[in-house]
Amino acid sequence: MKYLVTGGAGFIGSAFVRLVMRTQPSARVVNLDKLTYAGNLENLTSVASDARYTFVHGDICDKTLVDSVMREQKPDVVVHFAAESHVDRSILSPAPVIETNLIGTFTLLEAARHHGLQRFHHVSTDEVYGSIDSPHEADEDYPFHTSSPYSASKAGSDLLAQSYFTTYKLPVSVSRASNNYGPYHFPEKLIPLMISNAMQDKPLPIYGDGMQIRDWLYVDDHCRGILAVIEQGRAGEVYNIGGNCSLPNIEVVKRILKALGKPDSLMQTVKDRPGHDRRYALTNTKLTRETGWEPQMTFDEGLQQTIEWYRANPEWVARVFSGEYRNFYETNYANR
Ligand code: NAD
Ligand code: TYD
């Protein structure tokens, strides 16, 4: 089996590459990644010298490059992670989000439809369903209701991918996952930002009242879910992948502070995110029924492992902080 993974140097893509290389001895992986601020080859040092792994540095919006990768590498399966993935950045600067998430996905789909593939798997998100009132949960037929340029771009790419199954019979599958967390997570997202700030005794910025609810999914559980969809799920179908772990943000942050032995007084309420979705909630029933997949990691254990990883990798954190992250942090948080 040969996988073409896009965005394999990012948080979830790199976990997927490491998982495949670890568990499928005869698999080969080609990683196509532009190495934006979020792409980091340090996430892949464990596989970099493996003969089964190939890295291609490039942009999924580059039609010539994508066509040639598809033609020369002849993958059996495409797993499409590459995206601009952060809601706050999409609010500050939507252009790259629209370019990569929509045009990039379109470019890949066009290239894929002219090559015989066993599967084109598109990695989508539960954010396409928008904010959902309690006690409801989204199944795969729940309507889209997007709030941010990020979620709107993911909704567009999700529908575009499905249209290539309906129209061209490209064997597309789509998974919509909830909020991931785990090692190698870029510290712009809630959990790694709070861990790294708390470790440095910096204030922890809580948007609004902190009562927004997210469903937390350990990154390796997500990657196993994607493999379950590719191996056992049906082409033309959509599968939710959730962590069965809904928590308000404030509770997540308090657990981080407790695990690190830091005081709650580090939390600082700041101006809310515009268009902030109050609650995400989804059900995994379809994926579990069809493949037997279930999340394995409990939140407390996953959080402990994540914190331990950040403690054990201060150089990774320091290098991320020394890059453009500093500018982003200033822009996003200075006037909140
Ligand atoms: P990430 O931001 O950590 O990584 C994105 C990767 O894509 C980086 O390696 C980056 O260099 C690469 N990339 C960006 N633009 C590119 C382009 N034009 N060409 C080639 N490569 C490009 O993102 P992530 O958190 O790992 O998310 C991966 C996927 O999973 C995304 O599609 C995201 O929408 C989806 N998703 C994420 C979550 C989450 O909680 N993080 C939840 C559900 C779904
Ligand atoms: P985030 O990790 O950006 O994921 P998403 O917005 O895609 O769900 O944010 C998760 C939640 O945490 C969301 O409700 C916004 C909130 N949040 C804060 O309160 N403070 C922060 O500094 C960040 C980054 C997020």
Q: Tell me: the pLDDT tens digits for 157-178?
A: 999 999 999 999 999 999 999 9
**Ligand (nearest to CA of 223):** 1
Q: Tell me: the pLDDT tens digits for 225-259?
A: 999 999 999 999 999 999 999 999 999 999 999 99
Please give the Cα distance from 117 to 126 (Å, whole number): 26
Average pLDDT estimate for 112-126 = 95
**Ligand (nearest to CA of 83):** 1
pLDDT of residue 92: 95
CB of 205 sitting under 6 A from ligand 2: yes
Measuring CA to CA, how many Å separate 153 from each of 68, 83, 86, 125, 137?
26, 10, 11, 11, 22
Residue 305 counted as domain residue? no
Residue 308 counted as domain residue? no
Residue 169 counted as domain residue? yes
Percentage above 90 pLDDT, the chain: 95
Residue 324 pLDDT > 90, yes or no? Answer: no
Residue 206 counted as domain residue? no
Q: Tell me: the pLDDT tens digits for 190-233?
A: 999 999 999 999 999 999 999 999 999 999 999 999 999 999 99
Residue 222 counted as domain residue? yes
Residue 8 pLDDT > 90, yes or no? Answer: yes
Q: Which atom of ligand 2 is nearest to the CA of 191?
A: 2
Q: Which protein residue's CA is at the shortest distance from atom 21 of ligand 2?
A: 190
Q: Which residues are catalytic?
A: 126-127, 150
Q: Which atom of ligand 2 is nearest to the CA of 150?
A: 7
CB of 179 sitting under 6 A from ligand 2: yes
pLDDT of residue 129: 98
- The CATH number that applies at residue 222 is 3.40.50.720
Alpha carbon of 249 to ligand 2 centroid (Å): 8
Higher pLDDT, 63 or 318: 63
pLDDT of residue 323: 79
* Domain span at 54: 2-180+218-242+277-297+323-333
210: left (phi over 0), alpha (psi -120 to 50) or beta: left
CB of 332 sitting under 6 A from ligand 2: no
Residue 249 counted as domain residue? no
CB of 87 sitting under 6 A from ligand 2: yes
Average pLDDT estimate for 69-80 = 98
pTM of the entire structure? Answer: 0.98
Q: How confident is the model at residue 321 (pLDDT cuts 50, 70, 90)?
A: confident
Alpha carbon of 82 to ligand 1 centroid (Å): 4
Task: Look at residues 8, 103, 111 and name the one whose alpha carbon lies nearest to residue 57.
Answer: 8
Residue 15 counted as domain residue? yes
Alpha carbon of 233 to ligand 2 centroid (Å): 31
Percentage above 70 pLDDT, the chain: 100
Q: Which protein residue's CA is at the shortest distance from atom 32 of ligand 1?
A: 81
Buried b (16+ CB within 10 A) or exposed e, 324-333: ebeebbeebe
Q: Could you tell which of 6, 18, 44, 81 is best to mutate to test the pocket of ligand 1, judged by most ligand atoms within 8 Å of the CB?
A: 81
Residue 75 counted as domain residue? yes
CB of 212 sitting under 6 A from ligand 2: yes
Q: Which atom of ligand 2 is nearest to the CA of 333?
A: 22
Domains in the chain, number: 1
**Ligand (nearest to CA of 185):** 1
Measuring CA to CA, how many Å separate 283 from each of 78, 130, 166, 219, 305?
25, 14, 25, 17, 25
